[in-house]
Amino acid sequence: MTAAPRQKSESRLSLRQTDIVSEAEGRGMPGPRRPPAPWIAGGLILQAVGAGGVAAYVWFQVRHQNIGGHVTAATIRLAWHGEVHTRAGLAVLAAGALIYAAGSVLMARPYVTRPVTLFVAVPVAGVAGLLVLGVLAFLVALLIAALESGDFDFPGLDFGGGRRSTKRRR
């Protein structure tokens, strides 16, 4: 008969240990968090440094290679392709990508709880996004440079400036 009361005391003991668990943990809700603003600000600064450093490096190389003082689409293409094939250019690109990925990790830190997601998926997604934005910025730069130099001719499109050839009704 002494075995039955002992089982009750063990069950009471386990109940008492579960009473220590807070309500937030018991319902599966996260507890109070630190404000995410410092993480986001630090991440944005690192991302700007990573992307801006690469852009500044390519811009200075374009200016250095350009003789006439005007940046054209051909100059941008030559400088970009020339810097991708040099050790210094590849080092700047790799460092910029790593800094940008670190900024992505800092920005995601308050919101991501799994370490694998934080240290693998977030940097890969950040660098992929940086590459997509870089390609888009490169295409916009080429388009602007080509439009300024007059390389594009749109046959059949008139953007105004000329007289109309329609007759007026009397």
By residue count, the chain amounts to 170
42-98 pLDDT, tens digit each:
999 999 999 899 888 878 877 776 655 666 666 667 677 777 778 888 899 899 999
Taking every pair of Cα atoms in the chain, the longest distance, rounded to a whole number of angstroms, is 119
Domains of the chain by residue range:
37-149
126-170 pLDDT, tens digit each:
999 988 987 898 888 788 877 777 766 666 555 555 555 555 566
Q: Which two tokens stand for residue 116?
A: 């694998």
DSSP 33-99: ---SHHHHHHHHHHHHHHHHHHHHHHHHHHHHH-SSS---HHHHHHHHHHHHTSHHHHHHHHHHHHH
